[in-house]
């Protein structure tokens, strides 16, 4: 055949190409100097930054920092403020200044719909209740009594989805009320001043009751577990793909923290951590009191069909509410392989199985 005399050369070239590809594939990916996790924080009386939730537990355990240190990688905690968690975290993911963040479901959906690529790494760890508060002197007894009224709600935050569900369960739409888009601090002030007829928020509702400026007329405690606000550990998709070894350490650290707090004296230890972070003990205890969700369930780091259905429904709501411009396929938002390996390593495959 014409050109057959060049076959050996082609064969040599092919072998060189395969060798180079093998060398390239076998080359170790240089590790970053630091691994950065964003977490909700507040400044303590002494000026020290205090973290809350799962991240505070991981930081105190010290296991993650030690394991990363063995690889020459520093663990860096990036504080974000309560009033603007979603904006700060999404901006940080966008400019690549963080690798992980523990924050809410709706902001995560908004981020991915806008073009960012993040994935849920460790579910569970925060399933806070939501509350509908009205002024102390209000005659309103339910959401139905607030038709046409002004309700303070911070749009785009994780508790907006439970609010939409509350409306729908009572045959109402958002157009049936006047939404005042205010952050929690401004919303509380609006309720106290009389410029809002109601306020939909988290456990800070109890502070308004303590100050005699508001009263709770509904909470998600008796609603389905899926109505609770979700805030979970998300990771930058490119980082997860590039540094799976580091991502596994992070996932394992959070699963270890969830295991510790879910059983034994974990509940009391958690309360003490939150008190140390500057939260009033009475507020934490009232948040837990009368909740129908088992304590262990709050910390289950498992990817269940219910979890996936939750995010699909939240994404559908986000488009309907015009928080995102187009449909979001949520099937790609999950990275369960890290939790699965962590559960296997820690011999916890059946720990939350019945949950």
The CATH T-level fold of domain 130-226 is D-Maltodextrin-Binding Protein; domain 2 (3.40.190)
Q: Quick one: how far is CA 206 from the chain centroid? A: 23
Q: Which pLDDT tens digits describe the chain residue by residue (355 residues)?
A: 444 443 444 443 444 444 444 434 444 679 999 999 999 887 766 777 878 888 989 999 999 999 999 999 999 999 998 878 889 999 999 999 999 999 999 999 999 999 999 999 999 887 789 999 999 999 999 999 999 999 999 999 999 999 999 999 999 999 999 999 999 999 999 999 999 999 999 999 999 999 999 999 999 987 887 888 888 999 999 999 999 999 999 999 999 999 999 988 888 988 888 888 778 888 889 998 988 888 888 899 999 999 999 999 999 999 999 999 999 999 999 999 999 999 999 999 888 875 5
Question: Token digits for 118?
Answer: 């993040």
DSSP track, 164-191: HHHHHHTT--GGGSEEEE--HHHHHHHH
Cα 269-126-142 angle, rounded to 5 deg: 115
CB neighbour list of residue 95: distance below 8 Å, 6 or more residues apart: none
Quick one: tokens of 109?
């959906």
All structural domains of the chain with their residue ranges: 34-127+229-345, 130-226
Q: What's domain 34-127+229-345's architecture?
A: 3-Layer(aba) Sandwich (3.40)
pTM listed for this prediction = 0.87
Domain 34-127+229-345 shares a fold with domain 130-226: yes
Q: Quick one: pLDDT at residue 45?
A: 67
E strands in 123-273 = 127-128, 131-135, 150-153, 178-181, 198-201, 214-219, 229-236
Q: How high is the pLDDT of residue 96?
A: 97
Instruction: Quote the CA–CA distance of 30 and 27 in Å, as a whole number.
Output: 9
Per-residue pLDDT, 28: 61
138 CB neighbour count, 10 Å cutoff? 17
């Amino acid at each position: 055949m014409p050109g057959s005399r060049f076959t050996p050369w082609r064969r040599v070239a092919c072998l060189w190409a395969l060798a180079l590809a093998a060398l390239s594939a076998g080359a170790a990916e240089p590790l970053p100097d630091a691994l950065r996790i964003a977490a909700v924080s507040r400044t303590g009386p002494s000026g020290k930054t205090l973290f809350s939730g799962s991240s505070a537990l991981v930081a105190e355990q010290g296991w993650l920092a030690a394991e990363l240190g063995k690889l020459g990688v520093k663990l860096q905690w990036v504080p974000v403020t309560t009033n603007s968690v979603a904006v700060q975290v999404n901006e940080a993911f966008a400019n690549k200044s963080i690798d992980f963040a523990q924050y809410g479901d709706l902001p995560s959906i908004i981020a991915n719909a806008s073009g960012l690529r993040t994935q849920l790494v460790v579910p569970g760890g925060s399933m806070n209740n939501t509350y509908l508060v009205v002024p102390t002197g209000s005659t309103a007894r339910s959401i139905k009594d607030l038709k046409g009224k002004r309700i303070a709600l911070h749009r785009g935050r994780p508790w907006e989805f439970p609010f939409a569900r509350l409306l729908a369960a009572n045959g109402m739409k958002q157009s049936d009320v006047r939404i005042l888009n205010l952050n929690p601090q401004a919303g509380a002030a609006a309720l106290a001043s009389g410029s809002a007829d109601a306020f939909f928020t988290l456990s800070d509702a109890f502070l308004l009751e303590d100050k005699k400026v508001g009263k709770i007329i509904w909470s998600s405690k008796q609603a389905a577990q899926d109505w609770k606000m979700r805030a979970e550990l998300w990771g930058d998709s490119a980082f997860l793909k590039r540094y799976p070894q580091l991502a596994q350490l992070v996932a394992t650290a959070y699963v270890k923290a969830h295991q510790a707090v879910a059983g034994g004296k974990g509940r009391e230890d958690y309360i003490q951590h939150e008190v140390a972070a500057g939260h009033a003990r009475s507020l934490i205890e009232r948040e837990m009191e009368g909740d129908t969700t088992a304590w262990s369930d709050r910390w289950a780091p498992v990817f269940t069909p219910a979890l996936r259905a939750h995010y699909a429904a939240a994404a559908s709501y986000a488009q309907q509410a015009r928080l995102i411009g187009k449909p979001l396929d949520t099937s790609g938002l999950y990275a369960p392989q890290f939790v699965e390996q962590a559960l296997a390593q820690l011999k916890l495959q059946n720990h939350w199985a019945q949950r």
